[in-house]
Amino acid sequence: MPGPWAAGGRGRCFNAPVTAYDVLRVFCGPRGGYGNELGVVRDGSVLPGPDERQEFAAELGFSETVFVDDPERGVIDIYTPTTRLPFAGHPCVGAAWLLDVPELVTPAGVVGARQDGEFCWIEARAEWVPPRTLRQYATAAEVDELPVPPKGEWIYAWAWLDEPAGRIRARAFPGRTEGRGDSRSGGAGACAGGIDEDEATGAAALLLTDRLGRALNITQGAGSQILTAPQPEGWTEVGGRVRLER
C-alpha cells in the first residue's frame, strides 16, 4: 500500500492527515494508458465519519474517492470532492478489481463483480444513477470538437463510430465546480477551478446502454475504453481495464 497522504500528492494545497491510499486508473485503453484516476482508502476506519471523508476526498480532488469499510464483504463508501454518492461506475470497477471480491455493498444496492482476463466487470442498475443528459451528435468529429459547456448540467455527449458494431465516441462534462479541474483526468487536487471533463464514467455509460438496449464499446475522453452489456431483469454490466498507478 502506498505511504502517507503526502507521498501520493501532486501539488496539493492542504496539510492532510497521514492516511494511506491507493491511486488506480480505471477504464484504461488497450495499451494500458488513459483511464480515470481513483483514490481508494483501503482502511476506511482511519476516517470513519462522513465529514472527515468528505474533507479528505475534497483534498485529494479525484472525481471520486472510495473508502473501504469491509474488504472481505466489499462494503464501500464513495465520495466526490463535494458529495457522497450511493453508487458510481468507475469507483465500483476500481474497487472490485483491487479487492477481488464477487460483489460490492453500496448504499444503492449490491453490485455484482467479476474478473474476466484483462477486464473487471460490475453489474448495476440504471435507476441507481443520478440524472444525466445523454446528448447524441451526428459524428464523432463533432464530439471531439465540443467546448466545455457552462456549469450546471451533467452532459454525456456521444456519437456512433460504428453503429452495427456498437462502437461509440463519448465525452463527459459533469457541470460541477469541484477539484482542480484537470480536464482529462477527472481531477487532480482541490486548489482552484472545477472538474470540466471526466476521462471515463461508468455510470453514464450504463445509462446509455440501458437506453439503447445493446452492448457498447465506448471510447471516452483522451483514449479510455468502457465496455457494457445489458443483462436480464434490468441489470447492466460495465467493464474495463484497471491499473494500479501508485
Per-residue pLDDT of the chain (246 residues; tens, 9 = 90+): 333 343 344 334 444 456 899 999 999 999 999 999 999 999 999 999 999 999 999 999 999 999 999 999 999 999 999 999 999 999 999 999 999 999 999 999 999 999 999 999 999 999 999 989 999 999 999 999 999 999 889 999 999 999 999 999 999 999 865 443 333 333 333 333 357 899 999 999 999 999 999 999 999 999 999 999 999 999 999 999 999 999
For residue 71, give the nearest of 55, 92, 52, 95 by alpha carbon: 95
CATH class of this structure's domain 5-13+20-117: alpha beta
Domain 5-13+20-117 shares a fold with domain 128-241: yes
* CA-CA-CA-CA torsion sign (179, 183, 188, 193): negative
Backbone dihedral angles phi then psi of residue 15, each to the nearest 5 degrees: -85, 115
For residue 42, give the nearest of 83, 104, 98 by alpha carbon: 98
pLDDT of residue 227: 98
Using the structure block, give the residue that is written with the C-alpha cell 469499510. 69
What is the model's pTM?
A: 0.87
Q: Which fold has domain 128-241?
A: Diaminopimelate Epimerase; Chain A, domain 1 (3.10.310)
Cα gap 38→217, rounded to integer Å: 21
